[in-house]
């Protein structure tokens, strides 16, 4: 299998990404279902903010893994999506268990064999949270506006910051554990400032 063929998206992967994206958008807006206008507004905001964070996080994992010569494809976790909708409904949107799926990475053998080193695995894992941190910075300037732009900016900023910090928690199978195993200094420099900001905001 050549390098270019490993860079492509399969139709199954595209389907899984779309389903997970729509399910997350629904989970974050389902508590407004009784008001159709408000529901549609929150649903679109959720698709833009949570969806951007989710898609960006997973695709960055995919692309960085591919740069290291790996096969990498996203697969949704149906039970995780069901949990997300279930907890969103029973908690009226106050608690959402979001575990939509993951990018599955497989090293490709080139005759002598190929494995992912701790460094490569750490960089692949770190790329997702860093993407969320970057997206948080992109959304942040919108908080200086009012109305719909303010709502998009505030939610996009906070949810991406939360995603970045949460995924860097150093316990398996989180991204943070793989980064911690690779380089504890880099893990601390990224995780500590993020978790401090999240705690202050909460």
CA distances from 12 to 8, 33, 139 (A): 12, 30, 30
Q: Of 4, 13, 41, 58, which one is the catalytic site residue?
A: 58
Closest CA to 127 of 181, 157, 70, 168: 168
In this structure, how many other beta carbons lie within 10 angstroms of the beta carbon of residue 202? 7
Find out whether 114 and 69 touch, Cβ atoms under 8 Å. yes
Residue 191, both tokens: 């995780």
Rounded to an integer, what distance in angstroms lies between the CA atom of residue 13 and that of residue 11? 5
58 is catalytic: yes
Phi-psi label, residue 162: left if phi above 0, alpha if psi -120 to 50, beta otherwise:
alpha
Find out whether 19 and 81 touch, Cβ atoms under 8 Å. yes
> Known catalytic residues?
58
């Amino acid at each position: 299998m050549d390098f270019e063929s490993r860079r492509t998206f399969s139709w199954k992967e595209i389907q899984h990404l779309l389903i997970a994206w729509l399910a997350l958008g629904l989970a974050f807006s389902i508590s407004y279902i009784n008001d159709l206008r408000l529901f549609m507004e929150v649903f679109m905001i959720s698709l833009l903010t949570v969806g951007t964070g989710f898609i960006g996080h997973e695709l960055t994992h995919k692309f960085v893994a591919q740069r290291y010569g790996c096969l990498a494809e996203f697969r949704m976790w149906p039970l995780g999506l069901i949990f997300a909708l279930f907890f969103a409904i029973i908690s009226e949107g106050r608690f959402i268990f979001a575990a939509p799926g993951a990018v599955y990475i497989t090293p490709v053998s080139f005759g002598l064999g190929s494995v992912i080193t701790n460094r490569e695995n750490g960089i692949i894992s770190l790329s997702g949270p860093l993407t969320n941190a970057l997206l948080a910075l992109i959304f942040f300037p919108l908080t200086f506006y009012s109305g719909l732009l303010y709502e998009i900016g505030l939610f996009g900023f906070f949810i991406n910051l939360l995603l970045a910090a949460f995924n860097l928690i150093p316990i398996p199978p989180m991204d943070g554990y793989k980064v911690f195993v690779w380089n504890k200094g880099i893990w601390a420099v990224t995780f500590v400032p993020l978790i401090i900001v999240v705690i202050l905001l909460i």
